[in-house]
Amino acid sequence: MIFGLTIHEVFLIINIVLVLGIIFDQRRNPTSTVGWVLVLILLPGLGFFLYLFLGQDWTKRRLFSLKAEDDRLIADAVISQKKELERIGRTRPGETYERYMSIARMLLEGSQALITTDNELEIFTEGTAKFASLFDAIREARHHIHLEYYIIRNDALSRELIELLTKKAREGVEVRLLADSMGMKVKKKGLHEFTQAGGKHAVFFPRIFTINYRNHRKIAVIDGTTGFIGGFNIGEEYLGRGPFGSWRDAAIRINGMGVMGLQLRFIMDWNYAAREHLEIDPVYFPMVPGKGRCPLQTVWSGPDVRFSQIKDGYVKLILTAQESVYIQTPYFIPDDSLADALRIAALSGVDVRVMIPCRPDHPFVYWASLSFIGDLLDAGVKAYTYDAGFIHAKSIVVDGIGASVGSANFDVRSFRLNFEANAFFYDPLYGSQLKQAFLDDLPKCTEITPGSYQSRSRWTRTRESVSRLFSPLG
């Protein structure tokens, strides 16, 4: 008894309050609202705890007040960028670049994603080459090393990284290591020598009360001139040494002024997590023109903004497609706008293909993904399961020219609940490489045909339906 009320009555009152609060939350996604109301009604008591850990967003409103300050940091740069877009249009005339510059304009206006045009890229699809390149860049560092990852395992690869960072800190290089609090597995003892040598580390957002609002970004910046972004975290499984075996992912190395966007994002995240207030100092933004010609934008999104900028970029890319749209993602739970864009593209004669893993690391998400893919098959979208291990890449390439690689999956968590960072680039040299990587994976896949999808068992259909029902929660 609590104040004369039974436990059941207490939970009933709590449920009623939560239901009313969710309904009258004007900024909550309507689909998410319906989902949470259903959970609270069908699972009284348990629904309260699920909402506490998965759905509450008062924390978001309280914690991410630094956004206004972040916006002011780059407001002036956005104005000058509009002139840069006009210059690109003059120096690279033609229908192709005009088509992709319309995407650049949208991302600049909507998410203040600065565009640079002198970038040289290197695309990685497996961990050995990616980590070799990252470690080589770290060894060459002379002024600073800024690393931001969702997961840093406590394993051999992570220890090798920490030892290298410790060595660089002893040499006088500024070293900062930022990880999400839920993904940071290295214990303080393992970081003792690193901090003694002068290295700094911080964790993003304590994992108290909620598993939402995770910093899912994977960013590395060395000396302000070399950057990495993509899907790889720091751990042995990303080298194919985990339970899933071979690991297929996607990341890019950037040399050029495009690194400035990664640097700016890191500094803002570091200031929030470490409370250091790292200045936007020219020493972190060396004006060293790159040797490439690839236009590139760094786009970020998170629960601190109203709109899903990366998702908007995905949709805009798809709607510009004239020949092909190739997507790789471990989690495919599109909202209506993304699903409609894919359907419209396929019905218009565009070759639309989606590749997901053949086995899940999160079964709930996997079954929901299959359900959404099933909806698109009738429109002509082709879907595949990757059978040669686990596919963790978050990539899209359109017509072998416009592309995006980063941390954002094609699902509701990436679009609304986690902090993400992607690079959008527009160049036939690198776009064709990403397209070819997709085509090279096809012999390792099984196609999900309309016939095979319709022949799935009743138990599979049930799992898909239940998973889909709760997929919008957030």
CB 405 within 8 A of CB 462: no
- Is 392 considered catalytic here? yes
Query: Which of 70, 180, 399, 427 is the catalytic position?
Result: 399
> Band of the pLDDT at 288, cuts 50, 70, 90?
confident
> In terms of pLDDT, which residue wins out, 234 or 29?
234
Per-residue tokens: 409: 């999956």
Q: What is the pLDDT of residues 347-391, one digit of tens each?
A: 999 999 999 999 877 777 778 888 889 999 999 999 999 999 999
Total residues found in the chain within this entry = 474
> Band of the pLDDT at 133, cuts 50, 70, 90?
very high
Written as one string, the DSSP assignment of 175-227 is EEEEEETTTB-S-GGGGHHHHHTT-EEEEES--SS-S-S-B---EEEETTTEE
Residues of the chain above pLDDT 90, percent: 57
**pLDDT at res. 474:** 47
Residues of the chain above pLDDT 70, percent: 76
Of the ranges 120-124, 200-204, 303-307, 469-473, which is most confident? 120-124
Question: pTM of this prediction?
Answer: 0.85
Would the pLDDT of 467 be above 50? Answer: yes
CB 44 within 8 A of CB 11: yes
Query: Which of 311, 382, 392, 435 is the catalytic position?
Result: 392
- CATH topology agreement for domains 67-81+118-294 and 309-470: yes
Query: Which of 216, 311, 316, 435 is the catalytic position?
Result: 216
CA distance 304 to 162: 31
Query: Which of 180, 394, 411, 435 is the catalytic position?
Result: 394
Fill in the DSSP letter of residue 257.
T
Phi-psi region of 393 (alpha: psi -120 to 50; beta: other; left: phi over 0): beta
- Is 441 considered catalytic here? no
CB 333 within 8 A of CB 372: yes
Q: What is the pLDDT of residues 53-87, one digit of tens each?
A: 555 554 455 455 554 455 555 655 555 565 656 66
> In terms of pLDDT, which residue wins out, 370 or 171?
171
CA distance 382 to 28: 32
Lowest mean pLDDT among 188-192, 233-237, 376-380: 188-192
H or E element that contains 164: helix 156-170
CB 339 within 8 A of CB 372: yes
> Band of the pLDDT at 189, cuts 50, 70, 90?
confident
Q: What is the pLDDT of residues 315-355, one digit of tens each?
A: 999 999 999 999 999 999 999 999 999 999 999 999 999 99
Domain 67-81+118-294 -> CATH class: alpha beta
Measured over the CA atoms of residue 9, residue 10, residue 12 and residue 17, the dihedral's sign is positive
CA distance 444 to 315: 27
> In terms of pLDDT, which residue wins out, 264 or 341?
341
**pLDDT at res. 314:** 97
Q: Which CATH superfamily includes the segment(s) 309-470?
A: Endonuclease Chain A (3.30.870.10)
- Is 216 considered catalytic here? yes
Mean of per-residue pLDDT scores for the chain: 84
Phi, then psi, of 181 in degrees rounded to 5: -65, -30
**pLDDT at res. 112:** 79
Query: Which of 218, 311, 316, 382 is the catalytic position?
Result: 218
Lowest mean pLDDT among 43-47, 155-159, 444-448: 43-47
- Is 427 considered catalytic here? no
**pLDDT at res. 50:** 55
**pLDDT at res. 171:** 98
Would the pLDDT of 210 be above 70? Answer: no
Query: Which of 223, 249, 304, 312 is the catalytic position?
Result: 223
Domain extent listing, the chain: 7-56, 67-81+118-294, 309-470
> Band of the pLDDT at 94, cuts 50, 70, 90?
low
**pLDDT at res. 436:** 98
If you average pLDDT over residues 440-468, what whole number do you get?
85
